[in-house]
Amino acid sequence: MNILITGAAGQLGRALIKEIDYYNAANMIKVAKCACGKIKCNTHGLTQLVRPIDYILTGHREMYLDEGFDGSDEAFANEDRHVQALDITDENAVNEFVFSYMPDVIVNCAAYNAVDKAEEEPEAANLLNGKAPGFLAKAADAVGAKIVHVSTDYVFSGEGDKPLTEKDEPCPQTAYGKSKLLGEQSVASACKKHFIIRTAWLFGEGKNFVRTMINNADRQLRVVDDQTGCPTSASELARLIVYLFFTEKYGIWHGVCEGSTTWYGFAKKIFEFLGKNADIIPIGSMEYVCAAKRPAYSVLENARIHTETDFTMLSWEEALKEYLDEYFKSESLQ
Ligand SMILES: NC(=O)c1ccc[n+]([C@@H]2O[C@H](COP(=O)([O-])OP(=O)(O)OC[C@H]3O[C@@H](n4cnc5c(N)ncnc54)[C@H](OP(=O)(O)O)[C@@H]3O)[C@@H](O)[C@H]2O)c1
């Protein structure tokens, strides 16, 4: 199976690469392939291990994901970690990539995520979050591929008080939310074989709330306590993506870690897990004014996961613990 990943250097992109690597390591396929390149060559018939999922990584700019990349020929030869430049807002470039690689699945991890800035430049947000996913979906459809596109809880108004399922009506209140809803629509109308996964409050390798809290642990932290959502680890979302793209269960999915909390509750748990006494003060949204209004209640319910699959997402606390153990436990934060 060939996967084309866009936005590969972002939080989700990196988690997805790791998840596919785990999958490959656990599911290597033995095929008879000989040095002459033929599968099942009768003359030589050597057995080789083949990765069930092959991927091509693309991103906003060309780069190598391996730390310590030294520019040697050997390092350049490691195509696995080579992120090739593909600006998904360039329809011709998208088509060129898709038609030359002929993927079975495209996973779009690229996005315009500057929620406040989107209020000033909605056209830029609409192009990257709204139109460009449609370019990918159209190309996917043309080559018979599936597409996985990632959306957000911000497509909802955030004014209710009950968990939102895939059947609830979106009603975005911000330029970012509107651009993401546009993206859902462009993908759904261009490619039948689509998975649109709405997620929230992501933390992975990159800039995110958990890292901001930890980096500012020695100051007094004033954290909003009247916005409730679902903190979700990029690795849990990546597991869901890999699960789904092997299926034909198309349509909209909610994919968040189980449970919910406020930003203040989230911050408290981070420091509790790290065993650090931080000075955190709960505040109201009125005291933390942003250009884009944040939803007061945007708890997503994984309704389709619960009813249509045997897949389980970790709770946000379990996922946070796992994340902190992996990335931060070794650092001296005390
Ligand atoms: N982060 C959250 O809390 C959150 C919440 C809900 C939903 N989501 C959704 O989850 C998905 C993954 O988010 P994330 O946190 O992994 O995002 P991220 O870390 O910001 O990564 C986005 C990636 O997209 C790349 N990109 C930007 N413009 C591009 C372009 N024109 N063409 C190709 N790539 C481009 C970025 O590259 P550069 O950095 O080099 O520009 C970056 O590597 C997105 O769809 C996002 O909307 C995220």
Q: What is the pLDDT of residues 62-73, one digit of tens each?
A: 998 876 555 555
Helix then strand then coil, % of the chain, to nearest 5: 40, 20, 40
Q: Which residue has the higher pLDDT, 39 or 260?
A: 260
- The dihedral over CA atoms of 186, 190, 196, 201, expressed in degrees to the nearest 10, equals -30
Residue 141 alpha carbon to ligand 1 centre in Å: 23
Q: What is the pLDDT of residues 202-222, one digit of tens each?
A: 999 999 999 999 999 999 999
pLDDT number for residue 61: 92
Ligand 1 binding site (Cβ under 6 Å of any ligand atom): 6-7, 9-12, 59-61, 87-89, 109-111, 113, 128, 150, 152, 199-202, 206
Residue 111 alpha carbon to ligand 1 centre in Å: 4
| Substitution site in 60, 156, 205, 209 for ligand 1 pocket (most atoms within 8 Å of beta carbon) | 60
Please confirm, yes or no, whether 176 is among the known catalytic residues.
yes
Give the span between the Cα atoms of 213 and 29, in whole angstroms: 43
Stretch 124-133: mean pLDDT: 98
Structure confidence at residue 333 as a pLDDT band (50, 70, 90) = very low
Structure confidence at residue 50 as a pLDDT band (50, 70, 90) = confident
| Substitution site in 94, 109, 240, 299 for ligand 1 pocket (most atoms within 8 Å of beta carbon) | 109
Asked if 303 and 162 touch (Cβ cutoff 8 Å), the reply is: no
Q: At what angle do helices 234-245 and 316-327 cross, to 10 degrees?
A: 110
* Residues in Cβ contact with 270 at an 8 Å cutoff, skipping those fewer than 6 apart: 210, 213, 214, 320, 324
Structure tokens at 328: 């931060």
Ligand 1 atom having least distance to the Cα of 9:
43
Give the span between the Cα atoms of 274 and 267, in whole angstroms: 11
Structure confidence at residue 328 as a pLDDT band (50, 70, 90) = low
The full set of domains in the chain, from first to last, is 2-207+231-260+300-314 (3.40.50.720)
- Residue given tokens 């809803």 in the structure block: 181
Pairing of strands 82-85, 63-64: antiparallel
Q: What is the pLDDT of residues 148-182, one digit of tens each?
A: 999 999 999 999 999 999 999 999 999 999 999 99
Q: Give me the DSSP letters along 136-201.
A: HHHHHHHHT-EEEEEEEGGGS-S--SS-B-TTSPP---SHHHHHHHHHHHHHHHH-SSEEEEEE-S
Average pLDDT, the chain: 91
